[in-house]
């Protein structure tokens, strides 16, 4: 085997050199060793047979000007360092085996981690591992994987992602004992989100699809979200969803619309703010006054309709003046404010009629007496 002295070569030329180091545990054949003469590669070189340690002087050092037999140009630069014939490549520090590169391309890092279970297997073994471990991705800071990534931690330990200094006082993501904290190192619930200012959770669909947040137990399930048309919903029954309450922005007047059950889409009240398709029960309902209260009936200038005219009207129309008919109520419903004002007006008018009649009765009694 032809060898070249490394020192003499360096002193004789400033040529770019290549270095191949191979460690073998016993005498081997060059057959089947890709980096050895006789192997399948045209670029093959001699291995050091029966070499048990690394050493420079005994390895083949080939300058770029070397032209192997059968080649018409100099040997391309080589940068290989490793082993042949299915031997693992092992790196030691202070006589402790720390890095294992297996023939199947798996890499084990850690004391005696000689059988890595993944492409990259990092374990502490019996050695001490620094508390800070950094992985740098590509130019944009990405860390990519073509398979699933599983991260485990023991009970009582924590998994933390910081933004900024490694020892930041508040972690962006903090996981411990089954609880996850965002911007807090002390989550008190399964998911605890903290922010000094406004805080929120965003569920976003880029297309016209529904987006919901569900909460459930063994008895019932409820959701809060948006359907495909942009209507907000609160519903139940995750296996066969049922909507309980709907809400949306009425773009016609820029006001909110909320409805329970069927939404009024026809008639005079499609501009509703709150609609209930069913029975409404309440202990108390207050209606603020928008119009004029009926006390103007007691003004001296107010003129009562003569009773004979009133009789003629209700016999023909089958309802009192100003009071909506049954067909009108069936079609349009009742405005509680206006109806209460109208009923009060009729009661006040009735009071005036009664007072007027009592005066006439008293006058007749005086005439007879």
Helix (H) or strand (E) holding 341: helix 336-368
Report yes or no: 346 and 292 within 8 Å, Cβ to Cβ.
no
Distance (Å, rounded) from C-alpha 210 to C-alpha 221? 17
- Partners of 120 in beta bridges: 107
Helix (H) or strand (E) holding 9: helix 6-12
Helix (H) or strand (E) holding 344: helix 336-368
Helix (H, G, I), strand (E, B) or coil at 27: coil
Q: What are the pLDDT tens digits along the chain (369 aa)?
A: 344 444 443 333 333 333 344 443 333 344 434 444 444 444 444 444 444 444 443 334 445 566 667 767 665 555 556 776 678 888 888 888 889 999 888 888 888 888 887 777 877 654 444 444 455 555 666 666 666 767 777 777 888 888 877 667 788 899 988 899 999 989 999 999 998 888 888 888 888 888 989 999 999 999 999 999 899 999 999 888 899 999 999 888 899 999 999 998 888 888 899 999 999 999 998 988 888 899 999 999 999 999 999 999 999 999 999 999 999 998 888 888 999 999 999 999 999 999 999 999 999 999 887
Compute how many other C-beta atoms are within 10 angstroms of the C-beta atom of residue 12. 10
Distance (Å, rounded) from C-alpha 244 to C-alpha 258? 11
Residue owning tokens 């108390």: 284
DSSP line for 100-131: EE-TTS-EEESTT--S-SSSEEE--TTS---S
Q: What is the DSSP letter of 228?
A: T
Helix (H, G, I), strand (E, B) or coil at 50: coil
Distance (Å, rounded) from C-alpha 139 to C-alpha 159? 25
Is pTM beyond 0.85 here? no
- Give the residue among 354, 323, 355, 329 at the shortest CA–CA distance from 341: 323
């Amino acid at each position: 085997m032809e060898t070249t002295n490394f020192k003499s070569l360096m002193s004789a030329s400033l040529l770019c050199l290549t270095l191949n180091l191979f460690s073998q545990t016993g005498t081997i054949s060059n057959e089947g060793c890709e980096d050895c003469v006789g192997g399948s590669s045209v670029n093959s070189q001699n291995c050091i047979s029966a070499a048990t340690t690394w050493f420079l002087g005994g390895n083949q050092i080939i300058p770029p000007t070397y032209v192997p037999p059968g080649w018409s140009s100099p040997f391309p630069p080589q940068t290989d360092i490793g082993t042949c014939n299915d031997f693992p490549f092992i790196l030691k520090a202070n006589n402790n085996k720390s890095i294992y590169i297996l023939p199947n391309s798996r890499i084990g890092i850690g004391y005696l981690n000689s059988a890595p279970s993944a492409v990259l297997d990092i374990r502490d073994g019996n050695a001490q591992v620094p508390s800070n471990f950094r992985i740098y991705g590509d130019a944009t800071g990405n860390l990519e994987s073509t398979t699933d990534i599983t991260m485990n931690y023991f009970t009582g330990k924590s998994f933390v992602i910081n933004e900024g200094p490694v020892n930041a006082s508040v972690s962006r993501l903090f996981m411990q004992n089954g609880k996850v904290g965002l911007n807090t190192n002390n989550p008190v619930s399964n998911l605890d989100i903290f922010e000094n200012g406004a805080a929120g959770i965003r569920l976003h669909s880029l297309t016209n699809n529904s987006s919901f947040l569900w909460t459930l137990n063994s008895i019932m399930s409820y959701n809060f979200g948006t359907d495909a048309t942009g209507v907000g919903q609160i519903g139940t029954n995750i296996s066969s969803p049922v909507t309980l309450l709907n809400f949306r922005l009425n773009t016609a007047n820029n006001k909110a619309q909320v409805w329970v059950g069927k939404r009024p889409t026809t008639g005079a009240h499609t501009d509703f703010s709150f609609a209930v398709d069913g029975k409404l029960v309440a202990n108390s309902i207050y209606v603020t006054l928008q119009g004029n209260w009926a006390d103007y009936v007691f003004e001296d200038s107010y003129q009562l309709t003569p009773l004979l005219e009133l009789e003629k009207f209700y016999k023909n129309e089958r309802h009192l003046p100003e009071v909506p008919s049954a067909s009108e109520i069936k079609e349009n419903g009742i405005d509680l404010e206006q109806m209460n004002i109208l009923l009060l007006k009729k009661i006040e008018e009735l009071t005036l009629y009664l007072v007027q009649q009592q005066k006439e009765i008293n006058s007749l009694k005086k005439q007879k007496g």
